[in-house]
Structure 1
């Protein structure tokens, strides 16, 4: 099961493509700025986009929703607690002095524990709030696509609207750190890591400090 990582846009976002090689079904996770360049590759390889998955609705993780929904017809999937952020995408864009097309409404409202079939694969949803109220993690086989709640050597920021340090630490310790140590961690920014490596080396998981977080 390949998961392709694409580093895109001015905020150095990771946009992921999960592919079931048996059926050619694919899921696009967090289409960021400049992600439209991935469409020719997806079409050339013969993949069928079944889902547009959002870990959360901050601008840089959903800005490509409208493009891919229009061109592929794939449904957008987002947790209901982030609908407010999704509706505020134009206002988020103004803060960066850019104009973007508003995201279509999600056709799939994600819930904790939900499983999304992708060919012969299954993508499990974990609600991991803290960085955003409706932040989720997608689990597929040995990988966790964690959005902006966990990074290599750091954790997500909590000073944005809807952020909560208490919720984030609960999500990290009660949800993510209970995964097997060998679980691959695929973050929204930065390099991949593993659960075991972050348990051993991430200073934010060994203390209560919340300074110098990532995006």
Structure 2
């Protein structure tokens, strides 16, 4: 597996390209992501969203139309794809596949589990591919995502933290912003937040 990352836009939102057996999966194409994606893919097969905030989905439609590939979005965040809550001119996008909470999908032989961790958004998900976890704005290196936005929910965030703290295996974590980390390295931080909320 090869993983490329490029921060996009004012919020430096990480766009990922995951290449497995010559197939490219694009995760969270943010502001003006298409040009970077064009320079770094050979065989794109899907676009995946971790959640529906504008800085993660801005280039959804441009990428899926450019390559004629399908967009997979957590079901509970679909409503965000066509909203432009801050009047920034975000292009609307339209999911081809709405993924249910904790559903595992398979795209051309590649298995991807959408672990549902609501709190930051209703559909916020961490996407598991093998031992790699693309956490969007759920877990960052040294902290967690905010839960004071519209459509955020502190109690759901607390429940999500409790849920991942039950996991017994380690994962490489690739967050929506900032540097990569591991689940093992973040356990104490997650415990502190879970008690704090």
Q: Do both proteins adopt the same fold according to a TM-score greater than 0.5, normalized to the shorter chain?
A: yes
The alpha-carbon deviation at position 119 of structure 1 amounts to 4.3
Q: Spell out the pairing of 1:41-120 with structure 2 (5 A cutoff).
A: 41-43=39-41, 46=42, 48-88=43-83, 90-92=84-86, 94=87, 98-103=88-93, 105-120=94-109
Instruction: Work out whether 1:12 is the aligned partner of 2:12.
Output: yes
Q: Which residue number in structure 2 is paired with residue 162 of structure 1?
A: 151
Q: Which residue number in structure 1 is paired with residue 167 of structure 2?
A: 179
Tell me the secondary structure at the aligned position of residue 17 of structure 1.
strand
Measured in 1, the distance between the counterparts of 2:37 and 2:48 equals 15
Q: Which residue number in structure 1 is paired with residue 35 of structure 2?
A: 37
CA contact (8 A) 1:154 1:204 kept: no
Q: Which residue number in structure 2 is paired with residue 212 of structure 1?
A: none
CA contact (8 A) 1:181 1:194 kept: no
Unmatched tracts of structure 2, length 5 or more: none
Q: Which residue number in structure 1 is paired with residue 24 of structure 2?
A: 26
TM-score (norm 2): 0.91
Measured in 1, the distance between the counterparts of 2:153 and 2:133 equals 21
Tell me the secondary structure at the aligned position of residue 39 of structure 1.
helix
Moved over 4 A (4+): none
The alpha-carbon deviation at position 162 of structure 1 amounts to 1.2
Measured in 2, the distance between the counterparts of 1:64 and 1:11 equals 14
The alpha-carbon deviation at position 180 of structure 1 amounts to 4.3
CA contact (8 A) 1:116 1:124 kept: yes
The alpha-carbon deviation at position 69 of structure 1 amounts to 1.4
How many residue pairs get aligned? The number is: 197
The alpha-carbon deviation at position 2 of structure 1 amounts to 1.5
Tell me the secondary structure at the aligned position of residue 91 of structure 1.
coil
CA contact (8 A) 1:54 1:61 kept: yes
CA contact (8 A) 2:116 2:124 kept: yes
Measured in 1, the distance between the counterparts of 2:101 and 2:151 equals 18
Unmatched tracts of structure 1, length 5 or more: 210-215
Q: Which residue number in structure 2 is paired with residue 132 of structure 1?
A: 121
CA contact (8 A) 2:162 2:194 kept: no
